[in-house]
Amino acid sequence: MTNDSNKKHFKNIGIVGQANWRFFVPDLVRNLIRKYDANVHLYAASELHAEFYRNSDSEGLFSSVQVIRSEIPPSLPIIEDSADVIDCATAIEKKYNRTIASLTVTNRHLGRGYALGGFHHPRSFLSEDSTHVQAVKITIDLIEFWENEFINKNISMMINLRSDIGVTVANYYNVPVRNIYESRYKSFNNWAVDGMLTNPLIKKAFDDVEPSSIELLPQGVAAPPTGHAVARNKLMHQFSLPGMVKSSLKMAKEQLYNAYKGNRSGSYYLTSKFAMNYRIRQDAKRLTNGSYPWLKDLGDQPFIFFPLHVEPEASLQGQSPEYLSQLNAIVSLSRSLPAKYLLVVKEHLGGVGRRPRDFYGQIMDLKNVVLMDLRELGKDVVQKSALVATISGTAGLEAAVAGKPVITFGRHNSYNILPHVRVISNESQIKTAFDELLSEAYDQKTATINGARYLKAVENASFNLENYNHFTGRGYEEKEVLECLDKLEKSLSEIDSAMIENALAGYPN
């Protein structure tokens, strides 16, 4: 799908090298050079990663290999003139129509205060010792880094740029961004236009799929990839005493290695990590002590399901910048819930140990809310629920594709396009959503067909890496690299600014 419009985008490409794509990226770049005679600049997260790409690039695929200015500097900046820093920040906020603070939300150190349900995430010198002005200066430096790269290298497209700051600068300079993300369906991946997984082609593909052409798929078809099951088993082991000890020893070893290498960048305090490990063990024991019900204990009681997110995590702070408070969502749902229903809340395994002291107690104080045993499988709760409420979780996707009604506070979920998904932009809308979605008039058959249409749309808008292993970076074939490139070309030629703006508006119902 080569055209003149695409050619200009492929002239000077910037691509961020990530560990799970460390072999795939060079193969993609090789085809980009072969087809477009592209200049490709590789951006690495650290000098170690940069050395990997330099040492493995015997063909000279990369015009340059540059280490990205880290969001976590090795030391705090020395501020000589606070007023000058603030003046610079004010000019930047006006230029990009973004506040400096909003650009720190996804930073786990400077933005940890925005992880309201992750108060006990480990702390670091950057989160504890930095002042407001220092945080502003660090953010300004990151903005200036990307400005210099885009201007001096005349970057015409960025690939795998997940940084909110980087994407914001790219948008200002009209540099298209395309990021590979798992489509959360089988082994499909797709090209998103930002760090929020926005892909307008899914909506376009959905509109093109005729309902009459759809074969209904079995429930659970959109279950999490195998890697999620591996992570679950690993976390469950960490809850045990041997698991806690093993994890703590590993932390100590890593900390000593970083100290030996003189690498302070990004290091959390070891005492803080040990403390969280202890809280993980204690909270896991509490949530599995037999006082919290299993699904079977609810009997025939109708309920809606709200699964908790890990915090801090890109799937919350990054993908739902407009709505960050899980506890507020639970309270609002509880307040608007019809009396015949309960609200069932289940902790995410990765969230254990990070919550504020009274987090679970506050949830349990709501009379129509039940906190479920930690070990219950979320997919089973989804299947039995009358409705799923979420911010940006996979449970919302699983429910939506099965034809179950969904309420979502996140405005950028790709499944928000479905008619049986209600996007909440004002909490006064919650009762109306319950009234519509829980009524006897709810059209389950049509919703199930639309769920299957959505999966077909995702498939049509994605490329398939059937045997790809994100841990080893291997398991793909050359034809899959070419399919990936074909979908990249399609994304660049068919997506315009109006489609992106519509997608970012959250596809309101």
The pLDDT tens digits for 238-262 are 778 788 888 888 888 887 877 766 6
- pLDDT at residue 216 above 90? no
Which residues, 6 or more positions from 437, have their beta carbon under 8 angstroms from its beta carbon? 387, 405, 406, 407, 420, 422
Mean pLDDT of 473-499: 94
Is omega for the bond preceding 312 within 30 degrees of 0, making it cis? yes
CATH classification of 295-458, choosing from 3.40.50.12780, 3.30.70.270, 1.10.287.130, 3.40.50.12580?
3.40.50.12580
- pLDDT at residue 439 above 80? yes
Q: What is the mean pLDDT of the chain?
A: 91
pLDDT for res 249: 87
Percent over 90 (pLDDT), the chain: 80
- The answer to whether 185 and 451 have CB atoms below 8 angstroms apart is no
Please tell me the distance from the alpha carbon of residue 191 to that of residue 500, in angstroms, as a whole number. Answer: 13
Q: pLDDT tier at 234 (50, 70, 90 boundaries)?
A: low
pLDDT for res 172: 97
Digit-coded pLDDT (tens) for 182-205 = 999 999 999 999 989 999 999 999
Assign 179 to helix, strand or coil: strand
Digit-coded pLDDT (tens) for 303-362 = 999 999 999 998 899 999 999 999 999 999 999 999 999 999 999 999 999 999 999 999
Digit-coded pLDDT (tens) for 219-233 = 444 444 444 555 666
pLDDT for res 232: 65
Please tell me the distance from the alpha carbon of residue 307 to that of residue 344, in angstroms, as a whole number. Answer: 8
- pLDDT at residue 124 above 80? yes
pLDDT for res 247: 84
Mean pLDDT of 359-388: 96
Digit-coded pLDDT (tens) for 67-104 = 999 888 888 999 999 999 999 999 999 999 999 999 99
Torsion of CA 10, 14, 16, 21, to 10 degrees: 30
Pair of tokens at residue 210: 């005729």
Please tell me the distance from the alpha carbon of residue 364 to that of residue 345, in angstroms, as a whole number. Answer: 10
Give CA 69 to chain center in angstroms. 21
Q: Tell me which residue has tokens 């082991």.
A: 237
pLDDT for res 261: 63
